[in-house]
Amino acid sequence: MFSKILIANRGEIAVRIIRACKEMGISTVAVYSEADRDTLHTALADEAICIGPAPARDSYLDPGRIISAALASKAAAIHPGYGFLSENAGFARLCRDNGIAFIGPESDEIERLSDKSAVKEAARMAGLPIIPGTGPLPSLSDALRAAEDIGYPVMLKACAGGGGKGIRPAYSSEELAAIWPVAEAESLAAFADRSLYLEKLIEGARHIEVQMVSDEQGHAVALGERDCSIQLHHQKLIEESPSPAVTEAQRAKLLGMCEEAIRRIGYTGIGTLEFLMDRSGSFWFMEMNVRLQVEHGVTEILTGIDLVKWQIRIAAGIPLSFSREDIIPRGAAAEVRINAEGAGRIKAVHIPGGPSVRFDTFIEPGTAITPYYDSLLGKLIACSATREELARKLRASLCELVVDGVPSNIGSQLGIISGEAFAGGSYDTSTMEAAR
């Protein structure tokens, strides 16, 4: 096992990883930008090293600065968390070139499975049903021809996209022609890559992701699905498990299919397989995430499996000690993302409690919320014996949660949890857009 791990991230995920390391008896090194000098993750870690000014490109996204900090602190491994460099094949390669373990997949796996076209081909070869679509498109004329073959409506997507960015629907050739230059410019600005591809738009779909964990010995376990359909502008707001739209028979088939696919693909580590479920109940593979997900806590609280600890163990070569048959879900669980809606300084925080309620966060009185990074303040995660009881617990917890000093979306999230669509489990990926 690693004696010391550097966490190449910030905010709530850095705090989450540090706490897992402490429970495992592993020393931790935090890195921070000048804007994060006094944040919680720097105080909790055994060591903390400044890696540059506030802009992420000059600190958290600078591989050289992070490697220098790891070498200076004699860290044996680097945990990238999610976002930033977590899916950067070059960074993973740089870690290993410097004798530092990267807690995640091998660099060639990241490269292969982060390429939208390559991962779809790998998934198809592994037996997963693929959404009709294209690879990178050289020009608008190519896109127009492809769209006619696929059939409208279609989704125009950035090849380097992520986090819901770089996605635009088109319902006709005229609309596709109009959004093409806008999508190109948007992709170039967000990802420094203007390449785009097309995918069939499945309307009224559920966004279902399957949490996978696999070791170096070839064991793959599907830890259940999460329903991420409550989203706005392709940004997830609430995730729950199990999905109220998936039957037991569908679930058994889907999880078995995913385990077989991961074995065939040859993936090692923590990851998710992302699907759209259409109105007929068919699943269509979209993409794979080769990292820890923001919503990993839903699966943790439901199954009792600590995904962060297992991510570290797998990177150290330790085999899985459980199979899918060993997992007994504890009812129903969900995560509500609490986001800042402006900058400021936290004046007061009250975190709700009670059995099977947790709030993953980095904020405390005095924490500065700056415009430099993601707006996520914390994640309210809860579990109950039934979905009906879970909804009541989430409502009570949101009413109890206080974040004073910056505007947040607590009120709007309470409105969603209290609404008919969530209560009935009848929502899909378009529900939030239609409600606006």
Catalytic residue positions, numbered: 291
Q: Measured over all CA atoms, what is the biggest interatomic distance in the chain, rounded to whole angstroms? A: 60
**Radius of gyration for the chain, computed over Cα atoms and rounded to the nearest angstrom:** 21
Q: Which are the contacts of 409, defined by CB distance < 8 A and separation ≥ 6?
A: 237, 337, 338, 339, 341
Q: Are strands 4-7 and 27-32 parallel, antiparallel or unpaired?
A: parallel
Cis peptide before 355 (omega within 30 of 0): no
191 residue type, one letter: F
Tokens encoding 282: 């068919």
Closest of 66, 64, 60 to residue 5, by C-alpha: 66
Q: What are the C-alpha distances in Å from 389 to residues 247, 304, 356?
A: 20, 19, 12
Tokens encoding 38: 């006094």
Tokens encoding 375: 């707006």
Tokens encoding 366: 């005095």
Distance CA 104, CA 94 (A): 13
Task: Return the ∠ at Cα 110 (arms to 106 and 112), rounded to 5°.
Answer: 115
Alpha helices in 131-247 (DSSP H): 140-150, 173-191
Q: What are the C-alpha distances in Å from 169 to residues 137, 184, 193, 200, 201?
A: 16, 14, 19, 9, 7
Task: Return the ∠ at Cα 207 (arms to 206 and 211), rounded to 5°.
Answer: 135
Secondary structure of residue 282 in the 3-state scheme: coil
Whether 197 and 134 have beta carbons less than 8 Å apart is answered as yes
Cis peptide before 153 (omega within 30 of 0): yes
* Sign of the CA dihedral with 227 first, then 229, 233, and 238 last: negative
82 residue type, one letter: Y
Distance CA 294, CA 81 (A): 9
